[in-house]
């Protein structure tokens, strides 16, 4: 066999590897509007893909013993092309079937687990299984045509398939998805697989034109009609803008109330959460928004100069907007913010009045919060930690003892850390564990406060000092409106002190069960509303 003759089959193996990785990496994005992109969803998608590939390899091994493995390979690739091309259209009905509309975050835990697994099985098992047939068939073809040993043929196919997978991995995240979006990515993969399948059929001299037409029919029908559809905007809201970034699906929704326009930035939204909010005037948001509590440290400190704030998880800049409109008049906000997703920053500039180039507002777009903080030289009066991933997960590296020690080292003396945590009350396992970890890092007590009309809590810690005790003289401030809110926060049951080495496990870079704690929090969820602990 000529090297050109063996090159095509190795190219097919490489392409199948690339397509399977594109399919896998896009898969989480495809179901994200319904199930999010938590580690559970990733686990299910990867697990299903590996299961499908495993069975596919086995099937391919069996099928490779036939008289015409080229033809079998072509048929498998054409079927995979059809199954892949229909994924955008099928995602909405399949995912909606498993996840009814209007599910709140605190009731979704079990459904997210089972629903995401079921959706992954229905949607991604068939095309991946068919793609799994390709490597053994390619190995067989190579061996028959070139008289190479089984090991030599298998090794070459594996090498090319893995190289293809690497290419598929990087190109999907950095190039294909941001440039083409989900629908065109899947349709493109379908077309590529179909062309490869046809080439394999030509090499195998079959099947007939009629049979080829039947095999191509699913793809040809899918091309004009298969389109991905995200869940509709919540009732009373309209979608202003949406985009696919390297990290997530993003959309801006605006309330339909003409007198009080209000915007939210949602990421991978299928549930009831949001990443940033905007109202026309800077300042405090309505009751229930945790951002309002970020302004308390500046009032408690009675500062008169510049107030340097670092926001880890800037989003579209809501924390800054609340701070600048609700701080004492004599204080000037000097903000630095880190946001890992540059597309979120771009959306913030387009729709949320996020400043582009003001000297007092420095946006570190594309920066991980921990790396961004480590790069800062000047100390801060306040560091706000508002970083969430996958709608409900605090990123593991942003809630460890080592990270909070780093945070403390970047604070001015008596500077503040304010942490936003989603949790069900002050006995929530996530709240207990993160608060205990912060207290251990700072060596002082940490105050946890429940946000009124919300399931969020805010932790306040200080470098070398403590937050004022709720209800004490120091608790209330000179602003009447703030003091009225502080009155509500000083009621028994709405706040709690946490000591170093508290109740929950101390989270470290080495040992961090935050994922398990977050699922436990959601599982216990509503029961704790009644029991109070």
- List contacts with another protein (CB under 8 A): 51, 55, 58-59, 62, 65-67, 97-100, 102-107, 110-111, 114-115, 117-119, 121-122, 125, 144, 272, 286-288, 425, 450-455, 471, 473, 476-478, 480, 483-484, 486-488, 490-491, 493-494, 526, 528-530, 532
Strand partners, 243: 250
Residue 489 CB, shortest distance to another protein, in Å, is: 8
Residue 285 CB, shortest distance to another protein, in Å, is: 10
Measured distance CA(316)–CA(8) in Å, rounded: 48
Residue 150 CB, shortest distance to another protein, in Å, is: 11
Residue 368 CB, shortest distance to another protein, in Å, is: 29
Measured distance CA(247)–CA(29) in Å, rounded: 9
Measured distance CA(93)–CA(114) in Å, rounded: 16
**CA-based torsion, 40, 46, 49, 55: positive or negative:** negative
Measured distance CA(160)–CA(162) in Å, rounded: 5
Q: How far apart are the first and last CA of the chain?
A: 73
Looking at 2-68, list the stretches that DSSP marks H as alpha helix, in order from N- to C-terminal side: 3-35, 39-63
DSSP string, 461-475: EETTB-PPPTTSGGG
| Cβ-based nearer residue to another protein, 111 or 396 | 111
| 264 token code pair | 């939210």
Residue 24 CB, shortest distance to another protein, in Å, is: 17
Contacts 24+ apart (CB under 8 A), 477-480: 477/296, 477/299, 477/300, 477/302, 478/299, 478/302, 478/328, 479/299, 479/328
CA 325 vs CA 29, 354, 383: distances in Å: 36, 14, 18
Residue 420 CB, shortest distance to another protein, in Å, is: 16
| Cβ-based nearer residue to another protein, 125 or 500 | 125
Tokens 């089984």 found at:
150
Nearest partner of 110 among 40, 33, 211, judged by Cα: 40
| Cβ-based nearer residue to another protein, 274 or 351 | 274
| Cβ-based nearer residue to another protein, 150 or 179 | 150
Residue 458 CB, shortest distance to another protein, in Å, is: 13
| Cβ-based nearer residue to another protein, 15 or 449 | 449
Residue 4 CB, shortest distance to another protein, in Å, is: 18
Nearest partner of 99 among 114, 121, 120, 87, judged by Cα: 114
Residue 143 CB, shortest distance to another protein, in Å, is: 9
DSSP, res 423: -
| Cβ-based nearer residue to another protein, 286 or 443 | 286
| Cβ-based nearer residue to another protein, 329 or 480 | 480
| Cβ-based nearer residue to another protein, 171 or 454 | 454
Measured distance CA(457)–CA(446) in Å, rounded: 12
| Cβ-based nearer residue to another protein, 169 or 494 | 494
Nearest partner of 442 among 471, 463, 467, 420, judged by Cα: 463
DSSP, res 389: B
Q: How many helices (H) and strands (E) does the chain have?
A: 18, 12
| Cβ-based nearer residue to another protein, 348 or 425 | 425
CB 501 within 8 A of CB 436: yes
Nearest partner of 124 among 21, 200, 245, 267, judged by Cα: 21
Residue 269 CB, shortest distance to another protein, in Å, is: 13
| Cβ-based nearer residue to another protein, 55 or 202 | 55
Strand bridging mode 332-339 / 361-365 = parallel
Residue 295 CB, shortest distance to another protein, in Å, is: 16
Residue 276 CB, shortest distance to another protein, in Å, is: 16
Could you give the count of Cα atoms lying within 13 Å of 72 in the half-sphere of its Cβ? 22
| Cβ-based nearer residue to another protein, 135 or 425 | 425
Q: What 3-state class would DSSP assign to 162?
A: helix
CA 196 vs CA 76, 84, 134: distances in Å: 10, 14, 11
| Cβ-based nearer residue to another protein, 2 or 357 | 2
Residue 208 CB, shortest distance to another protein, in Å, is: 20
Measured distance CA(82)–CA(217) in Å, rounded: 8
């Amino acid at each position: 066999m000529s090297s050109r003759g063996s090159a095509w089959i190795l190219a097919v193996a490489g392409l199948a590897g690339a397509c399977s990785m594109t399919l896998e990496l896009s898969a989480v994005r495809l179901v994200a509007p319904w199930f999010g992109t938590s580690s559970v969803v990733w686990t299910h998608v990867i697990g299903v893909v590996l299961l499908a590939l495993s069975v596919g390899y086995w099937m391919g091994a069996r099928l490779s013993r036939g008289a015409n493995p080229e033809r079998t390979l072509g048929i498998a690739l054409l079927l995979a092309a059809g199954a892949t091309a229909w994924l955008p259209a099928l995602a909405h009905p399949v995912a909606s079937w498993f996840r009814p509309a209007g599910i709140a975050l605190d009731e979704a835990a079990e459904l997210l687990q089972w629903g995401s697994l079921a959706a992954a099985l229905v949607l991604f098992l068939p095309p991946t299984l068919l793609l799994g047939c390709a490597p053994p068939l390619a190995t067989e073809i190579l061996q028959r045509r070139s008289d190479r040993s089984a090991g030599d043929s298998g090794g070459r196919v594996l090498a090319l398939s893995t190289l293809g997978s690497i290419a598929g991995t990087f190109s999907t995240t950095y190039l294909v998805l941001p440039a083409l979006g989900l629908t065109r990515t899947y349709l493109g993969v379908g077309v590529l697989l179909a062309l490869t399948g046809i080439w394999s059929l030509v090499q195998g001299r079959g099947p007939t034109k009629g049979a080829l037409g039947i095999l191509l029919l699913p793809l040809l029908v899918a091309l004009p009609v298969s389109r991905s559809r995200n869940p509709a905007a919540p009732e009373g809201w309209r979608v202003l803008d949406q985009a696919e970034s390297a990290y997530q699906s993003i959309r801006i929704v605006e309330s339909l109330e003409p007198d009080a326009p209000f915007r939210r930035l949602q990421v991978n939204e299928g549930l009831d959460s949001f990443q940033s909010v905007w109202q026309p005037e800077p300042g405090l948001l309505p009751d229930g928004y945790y951002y309002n509590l970020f302004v308390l440290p500046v009032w408690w400190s009675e500062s008169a100069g510049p107030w340097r704030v670092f926001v880890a998880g800037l989003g579209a800049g809501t924390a800054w907007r609340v701070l600048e409109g609700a701080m004492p008049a004599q204080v000037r906000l000097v903000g630095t913010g880190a946001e890992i997703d540059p597309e979120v920053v771009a959306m913030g500039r387009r729709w949320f009045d996020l400043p582009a180039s003001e000297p007092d507002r420095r946006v570190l777009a594309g920066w991980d919060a921990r790396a961004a903080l480590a790069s800062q030289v000047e100390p801060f009066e306040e560091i706000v930690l508002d970083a969430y991933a996958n709608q409900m997960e605090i990123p593991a590296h942003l809630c460890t003892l080592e990270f909070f020690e780093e945070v403390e080292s970047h604070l001015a003396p008596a500077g503040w850390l304010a942490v936003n945590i989603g949790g069900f009350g002050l006995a929530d396992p996530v709240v207990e564990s993160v608060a205990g970890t912060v207290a251990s890092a700072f060596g002082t007590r940490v105050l946890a406060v429940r946000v009124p009309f919300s399931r969020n809590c805010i932790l306040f810690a200080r470098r070398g000092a403590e937050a004022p005790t709720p209800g004490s003289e120091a608790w209330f401030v000179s602003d009447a409106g703030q003091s009225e809110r502080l009155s509500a926060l000083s009621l028994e049951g709405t706040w709690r002190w946490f000591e170093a080495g508290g109740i929950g496990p101390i989270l470290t870079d080495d040992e961090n069960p935050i994922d398990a704690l977050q699922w436990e929090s959601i599982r216990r969820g509503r029961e704790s509303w009644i029991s109070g602990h």
